Amino acid sequence: MDNSTFEPLNVTDAAVIGETVVYRSWYQGVLACDLVILAAGIPGNLLTILAYFKYKQLQSPTNLLICSQSIGDLFTCLTGPIFAVLNYTEVGQALASSNKYLCLVSLGMVLAALQSSIINILALGTERFIAVYFSLNYYNWVTDRNVQVAVVTIWTMVISINCLPVFGWNEWKPGVPCMSVNVYPQIFFQVLFIIPCMGCLLVCALENFAIAFTAVKKQRSIAAAVVVPNADQQTEEAKIKSGNQFKITKMLLLVVGCFYASWLPWIIFNCIFFSLPPPWKESGIPKWVLVANEYSKAVLVANTLVNPFIYGWKNKPFRDAYNKLLGIRKTSNGA
């Protein structure tokens, strides 16, 4: 069999558990791509976090969820290079395959960052779902305290789950690649990571399809649904509030859409690897599939680059905060 076309099953982290570390020449391209994307994602997410904490006008429940998402993205950008070096360089592979806790800690940090991003996206989707479908109760339910509790719960759960392998629940062995399928028990990876993440993505998708379908109609009907003594004044205020909520909804729909676009290739490849065609089980996975799978991870982390641009483009308060932090002054025409 031509090795340029097919590779053994044990070189991929998403197929069958590998037995030995194998370095491929094309890993250099994956490494370079990952490092460039992750480095480029740091400034934007750091800017978003600083803007939230520095400017009081940004400190709303919705923006707290955006800040939490940016912290997850920044965490990915900071931990991703460690994982990439340990898996896509010969020196890194040697270190990770011989140092148990270096492997477990680096892998745990990356998976915690990715899992936090998924759950934070679900939290943002749920917040928008409440704003669209339960608008009259929105300000009672989505309070500073409730969102703070939700954010603390998300991070406590994510960190606790991904610390379990470090404290003993692992199958690490010397000489194997430092990939989740090689060092994590199958029940842990599937039950505590894959299934919850896929469930979050599915629920978030359903929520956002519903939001996209009804947002315009709901935005027009919110003002009419508000019954108050001072009708003219209060109705005008309701229109302003509903218009602002509609703008936020459109912005977060775009954020979620970009999130799914970046995650979709990796999800597709994982679905393929979990149900390999019989010829691939016998002869090996085609090289192009392995290469595409590794580059799909670069597409996945590219999502960390996108969100700050969306906030700056679609959200005037964030755009103004970015300009202040960067020392950019508006021109006389407001541009």
Q: Right CATH number for 6-326 from 1.20.1070.10, 3.40.50.300, 3.40.190.10, 3.90.45.10?
A: 1.20.1070.10
pLDDT, tens only, 65-98: 999 999 999 999 999 999 999 989 999 999 998 9
Dihedral over alpha carbons 163, 165, 169, 174 (to 10 degrees)? -160
Q: How confident is the model at residue 59 (pLDDT cuts 50, 70, 90)?
A: very high
Which are the contacts of 279, defined by CB distance < 8 A and separation ≥ 6?
none
- Half-sphere CA count of 208, side-chain side, radius 13 A: 23
The pLDDT score that the predictor gives to residue 11 is 38
Radius of gyration of the chain (CA): 23
Residue 12 has pLDDT above 60, yes or no: no
Residue 134 to residue 141: CA distance in whole angstroms:
9
Residue 2 has pLDDT above 50, yes or no: no
How much is the mean pLDDT over the chain?
81
pLDDT, tens only, 283-309: 777 888 888 888 888 888 888 888 888
pLDDT, tens only, 156-178: 999 999 999 999 899 998 888 88
Per residue in 296-320, is it b (16+ CB within 10 Å) or e — as a string?
Answer: bbbbbbbbbbbbbebbbebbeebeb
Taking residues 232-259, what's their average pLDDT? 66
Q: Where are the domains of the chain?
A: 6-326
The pLDDT score that the predictor gives to residue 269 is 81
